[in-house]
Amino acid sequence: QFRLDDQVAVVTGGARGIGFAIATALAEAGACVVIADLEVAGEQSAHQLRERGLQAEFRPLDVTRSAQADALAKSLVEHYGHVEILVNNAGICRNTPALETSDEEWLQIFDVNVHGVFWCSRAFGRVMAQQGRGSIINIASMSGIIVNKPQPQAAYNASKAAVAHLTRSLAAEWASAGVRVNAISPGYIGTEMTKRGLENPQWRKDWLELTPLGRLGEPSEVANCALFLASPASSYLTGSELVVDGGYTV
């Protein structure tokens, strides 16, 4: 039920962190994984998977450019003939008090975290609806559910709440076409994104105290949930949001 043999999976922001863990889990389940990322480092990440005998390739993609998302979908359909899985994982976060947030920063966060998710979902949702099957997984955040005090992240929080509701909206529209759309909302996971925050002893202490499981999550623990949502094991889930936060939001 968790095998993905002969399926093509696109993971945006798959070069590192949670995205790379998801790319790894999907490739281990037999999928041919396309790491779509800004970073040229994505080539190295795909190479790492190929060295283990897994199927992976890197394609450059800036999710904020809808034309690039459309071109990638077209190119992958020409190359593979089908795409079954899209993981909208690319995302950015800034810790800026609301009164100090510039227009540019607000727009940049929404460009990547919200517009990017929609451009890629539309490009690949079209392909999946034509195929009559597909699974889209959006990486939202517990910050879209609760406000993470004392970190000032109004733009990030709002962008992730938008991702969760976009997930439900697309799930409702595309269910009849055989396309499932679900979200994962992680809590604190040890990656580049949280590295700076963890260096702040007070934040680190707060994060661990507020997490009932008493530790940060591993990228692989988010990846396991993505594998479930990508696979037929989750065939009756659409529009759902799996909260993977060690109990932070309970």
Residues that bind ligand NAD (CB under 6 A): 12-13, 15-19, 37-39, 61-64, 89-93, 112, 116, 139, 141, 186, 188-189, 191-194
DSSP string over 174-233? HGGGTEEEEEEEE--B-SHHHHHHHTSHHHHHHHHHH-TT-SPBPHHHHHHHHHHHHSGG
CB of 171 to ligand NAD, least distance (A): 19
**Complex with ligand NAD: residue 78 or 192, whichever CB lies closer:** 192
- Do the Cβ atoms of 62 and 38 come closer than 8 Å? yes
**Complex with ligand NAD: residue 81 or 201, whichever CB lies closer:** 201
**Complex with ligand NAD: residue 66 or 131, whichever CB lies closer:** 66
CB of 141 to ligand NAD, least distance (A): 4
CB of 32 to ligand NAD, least distance (A): 20
Q: From the centroid of its chain, how far is CA 73?
A: 17
**Complex with ligand NAD: residue 30 or 111, whichever CB lies closer:** 111
Instruction: Tell me the C-alpha distance between 234 and 192, whole Å.
Output: 30
CB of 158 to ligand NAD, least distance (A): 13
**Complex with ligand NAD: residue 29 or 90, whichever CB lies closer:** 90
Residues with a known catalytic role: 156
CB of 79 to ligand NAD, least distance (A): 20
Nearest to 180 by CA among 144, 141, 223, 232: 232
Nearest to 73 by CA among 112, 42, 34: 34
Distance (Å) of CA 79 to CA 34, 39, 241, 242 = 12, 22, 32, 32
Instruction: Tell me the C-alpha distance between 7 and 24, whole Å.
Output: 14
Three-class DSSP category at 33: strand
DSSP bridge pairs for 35: 11, 58
Nearest to 187 by CA among 238, 229, 250: 250
